[in-house]
Amino acid sequence: MEIINLQQFCASQKDDRAYLQKPFHLDGKTYATNGHILVEVNGVEHAAAAADESVIDMLRSILSHLPDKEYQPLPPGLPAVERVECKACGGKGDRRACPSCNGHGVFKHHGYDYACTPCDGVGHIKSACHYCNAIGSVDGAPVRIGRLLFNGRYVAMIASLPNAKISTASTFDVAGFTFQGGRGALMPRRY
């Protein structure tokens, strides 16, 4: 059986969710996820750590909602993945507008301007952008499979797995996929 590089399915090192940056194991299986795509393989990979408590319930919930039918090979002729700047973080990957001052760095109170304390007056908070997985760019055009739209990069990652098949027959609006040696879930694109 082909060895799969699970690290490619993990969150980037810039992501503030450290528990998603490396594969982890639970109940005799190894998992990798970045919050958009989840991969489960049989057996415990030596490099994987034990599952973080904060992810166990989410993991079990997603896996319980995977489709149990209608798995088909991925559509032929998938388009090339075009990357565009992430609008949520302005291509920075790690900044978001401060919610206290709405990104202005100052706020008015009784006619006076004050520097915003939570962001030190700069208007943004350093935090990993979860829309782009802290990369700064997102897929341009989405890929439609069934009734759902997906990021093309994740569909291409699934297509590279041995004997990959996908199903959108879930009532949970998540695609399930299977491949030789495992299975996974793919969240639809929301924007």
Write down the pLDDT at residue 88.
77
The amino acid that residue 37 corresponds to is I
Task: Using the predicted structure, report yes or no on whether residue 73 has a pLDDT greater than 70.
Answer: yes
110-149 confidence digits (pLDDT tens) = 778 888 888 888 887 777 777 777 788 887 788 888 888 8
Higher pLDDT among residues 88 and 160, named by residue: 160
Strand partners, 49: 24
Q: Tokens representing 91? A: 């291509």
Q: What gap in Å lies between CA 51 and CA 26, rounded to an integer? A: 6
What percent of the chain is predicted at pLDDT more than 70? Answer: 95
What integer pLDDT is reported at residue 2 of this predicted model?
A: 67
- Return the pLDDT at 169: 87
49-67 burial, b for 16+ CB within 10 Å, e for fewer? eebeeebeeebeebbeebb
According to the model, what pLDDT value does residue 191 have? 60
Distance CA 191, CA 178 (A): 25
Q: Which of 3-7, 51-55, 162-166 has the least mean pLDDT?
A: 51-55
pLDDT at 87: 81
Instruction: Please give the Cα distance from 4 to 10 (Å, whole number).
Output: 13
Mean confidence (pLDDT) of the chain: 84
Task: Check whether 1 has a pLDDT greater than 60.
Answer: no
Percentage of residues of the chain with pLDDT beyond 90:
25
The domain ranges of the chain are 7-79+142-186, 94-128
pLDDT digits (tens, 9 = 90+) for 26-46: 888 999 999 899 999 988 776
- On the question of pLDDT at 20 being above 80, the answer is yes
- Flag whether the pTM goes above 0.85: no
pLDDT value of residue 172: 78
